[in-house]
Amino acid sequence: MKKFKKITERVVESIFTISGSLTSIAILLIVVFLFKEGVGLFNSPSVEKGYVLCVNSENSIDKLSVIQIKEIFDSEVVDWKDVGGKEGEITIFRFDEIFNIYSEEDLGEDYGLLSAKLGEVITSNLNIIAYLPQEYAPVGIESVKLLPTESIGVADFLGGKEWMPTATPTPLFGVLPLILGTLLVSFFAILFALPLGLGVAIYLSELASKRTRKLMKPTIELLAGIPSVVYGFFGLVVLVPLVQKVFHLPVGETALAGSVILAIMALPTIITIAEDAIGNVPLSMREASVALGASHWQTIYKVILPYSRSGITAAAVLGIGRAIGETMAVLMVTGNAATMPHSLFQSVRTIPATIAAELGESPAGGAHYQALFLLGSILFIITMVISITAEVISKRQPNKGI
């Protein structure tokens, strides 16, 4: 009987040991899956899957960049010479148009003659550029040239200034506007939250009476517990109209509204950690200061705050992390414009909001899907870096001279 007990104990204890690695495995899995689903983006063709671009063989152009294709199909560029070719007005031909030119009969049974007819159209127009499904593309015809489709490049992704994942023929996956939007909103959120949070932390640990502290601590915990979507709702219904009115804007959905809501959401984190840091200043420091004739306030800003510098910095860093990762509140309040942000008073999109808004509509495995997973990977890396930075900072001892 005793042996049986011992065996069960061994088993249970090894289960415990294995569960110790749970969180590490979880992080590993997250990394693997995020990157696995995302990295395929750089092998994806830049033209929408299953489609090709054809031009007349006489066209001097051999290839076009993603931006150029977009500009052509948006009619921003109208002449071949603007993309390095011979002068001639670009004629855009989309696949559907073939049905306007030829009747069902002409195209043959099961559309057997469709390919040939497309070939005829292209051959007859020197300045044409045709956007066709791969299966009907007129390959092998001398007068038709297929433009090579490059795969999406890392530089286009990381440095591209336009995020238009549903554009045809070439969706654009430039994440710069999203990264900048995220940074803009988070930066100002911390700008608002840090002084406020630090002030409240000082109030709580140095000035408030025991009773006040007992009342305020649950208040702050409560603020921390309100769900993101409720903050978003409040922001949508109260803050956004307020911003619109006060600043005379056409719409209130702005980066400013996002920053304010994020600031409120980051406050509890900053307050709690900063208060902890301030409370850890040893009594001997305070006594030394007071014994020399310093007032309470002088002691606070000359000794206590410098001493708790690293804790306060950790609080700020963690607050930033919180702000950057917020999804729902920002989504509901900053509007829908995934464009390069120029000011606080315009609509922006952050990385988390983009993922939340677009993932549902992107076909699984497609380029858009992969791009969103890559965005998720970037977000993951940013928050990891922030988390580790905060850990390192808070371990630092205050023994540098000031």
Partner 1 sequence: MIETKNIDFYYGGFHALKNISMHIESNSVTAFIGPSGCGKSTFLRLFNRMNDMIDHTRMSGTCLINGENIYDKAYNIEDLRRKVGMVFQKPNPFPKSIFENVAYGLRVNDMGDKSFISERVEQSLISAALWDEVKDKLKKSAFELSGGQQQRLCIARALAVSPSIIMMDEPASALDPISTSKIEELIHTLKKEYTIVIVTHNMQQAARISDKTGFFMLGELVEFSDTKKMFLNPENKQTQNYITGRFG
Partner 2 sequence: MNKKMSQRAAFILFRMLGILVVGILFWILGFIVYNGMSVISWEFLSTSPTEGMTAGGIFPAIVGTLYLVLGSIVFAFPLGIMTAIYTNEYAGNGWIVRFIRVMTNNLASIPSIVFGLFGMALFVNTLGFGDSILAGSLTLGLLVLPLVIRTTEEALKSVPLSYRIGSLALGASKLETIRRVVLPMAFPNIITGLILSIGRVSGETAPILFTVAAYFLPKLPNSVFDQVMVLPYHLYVVATSGTDIETSRPIAYGTALVLIAIVLIMNLLATLLRAYFSKKVKMN
Q: How far is Cα 373 from Cα 375, in angstroms, rounded to an integer?
A: 5
Q: What does 95 bind: partner 1, partner 2, none (CB cut-off 5 to 8 Å by kind)?
A: none
Q: Decide: 368 and 362 in contact? Cβ < 8 Å.
A: yes
CB atoms within 10 A of CB 105: 8
Of the candidate residues 289, 350, 370, 377, the single one contacting partner 1 (CB under 8 A): 289
Q: Could you tell me the smallest distance in angstroms from the CB atom of residue 289 to partner 2?
A: 13
Q: How many residues bind partner 1 (CB under 8 A)?
A: 23
Q: Could you tell me the smallest distance in angstroms from the CB atom of residue 287 to partner 1?
A: 7
Of the candidate residues 1, 15, 22, 291, the single one contacting partner 1 (CB under 8 A): 291
Stretch that binds partner 1, among 155-163, 177-185, 293-301, 347-355 (CB under 8 A): 293-301
Q: Could you tell me the smallest distance in angstroms from the CB atom of residue 206 to partner 1?
A: 12
Stretch that binds partner 1, among 75-83, 104-112, 280-288, 359-367 (CB under 8 A): 280-288
Q: Could you tell me the smallest distance in angstroms from the CB atom of residue 64 to partner 2?
A: 32
Q: What does 35 bind: partner 1, partner 2, none (CB cut-off 5 to 8 Å by kind)?
A: none
Q: How far is Cα 61 from Cα 144, in angstroms, rounded to an integer?
A: 12
Residue 279 makes contact with partner 1 by CB under 8 A: no
- Residues of this chain, 307-336, that bind partner 1 according to CB under 8 A: 307
Q: Could you tell me the smallest distance in angstroms from the CB atom of residue 237 to partner 1?
A: 46
Stretch that binds partner 1, among 137-145, 215-223, 271-279, 285-293 (CB under 8 A): 285-293
Cis amide linkage into residue 218, ω under 30° from 0: no
Backbone angles phi, psi at 147, to 5 degrees: -80, 130
Nearer to partner 1, 250 or 282 (CB): 282
Backbone angles phi, psi at 78, to 5 degrees: -120, -5
Q: Could you tell me the smallest distance in angstroms from the CB atom of residue 209 to partner 1?
A: 11
Nearer to partner 2, 145 or 213 (CB): 213
- HSE (CB half, 13 Å, CA atoms) of 281? 26
Residue 306 makes contact with partner 1 by CB under 8 A: yes
Q: Could you tell me the smallest distance in angstroms from the CB atom of residue 20 to partner 2?
A: 4
Of the candidate residues 168, 298, 383, 389, the single one contacting partner 1 (CB under 8 A): 298
Nearer to partner 1, 168 or 298 (CB): 298
3-state secondary structure of 93: strand
CB atoms within 10 A of CB 73: 19
- HSE (CB half, 13 Å, CA atoms) of 295? 2
Q: How far is Cα 294 from Cα 374, in angstroms, rounded to an integer?
A: 55
Residue 211 makes contact with partner 1 by CB under 8 A: no
- Exposure b/e, 34-52, CB count within 10 A at least 16 = b: bbebbebbeebbbbbeebb
Q: Could you tell me the smallest distance in angstroms from the CB atom of residue 350 to partner 2?
A: 10
Residue 293 makes contact with partner 1 by CB under 8 A: yes
Residues in the chain: 402
Q: What does 196 bind: partner 2, partner 1, none (CB cut-off 5 to 8 Å by kind)?
A: partner 2
Residue 112 makes contact with partner 1 by CB under 8 A: no
Q: How far is Cα 29 from Cα 279, in angstroms, rounded to an integer?
A: 38
Q: How far is Cα 384 from Cα 393, in angstroms, rounded to an integer?
A: 14
Residue 166 makes contact with partner 1 by CB under 8 A: no
Which DSSP helix (H) or strand (E) runs through 360? none
Which DSSP helix (H) or strand (E) runs through 145? strand 144-147
- Exposure b/e, 21-30, CB count within 10 A at least 16 = b: eeeeeeeeee
Structure tokens at 254: 């702005």
Which candidate, 240, 263, 230, places its Cα nearest to that of 345?
A: 240
Q: What does 26 bind: partner 2, partner 1, none (CB cut-off 5 to 8 Å by kind)?
A: partner 2
Of the candidate residues 288, 381, 384, 388, the single one contacting partner 1 (CB under 8 A): 288
User: Tokens 């959905």 identify what position?
Assistant: 253
Binding footprint of partner 1 on the chain (CB under 8 A): 282, 284-295, 298, 302-303, 306-307, 398-402
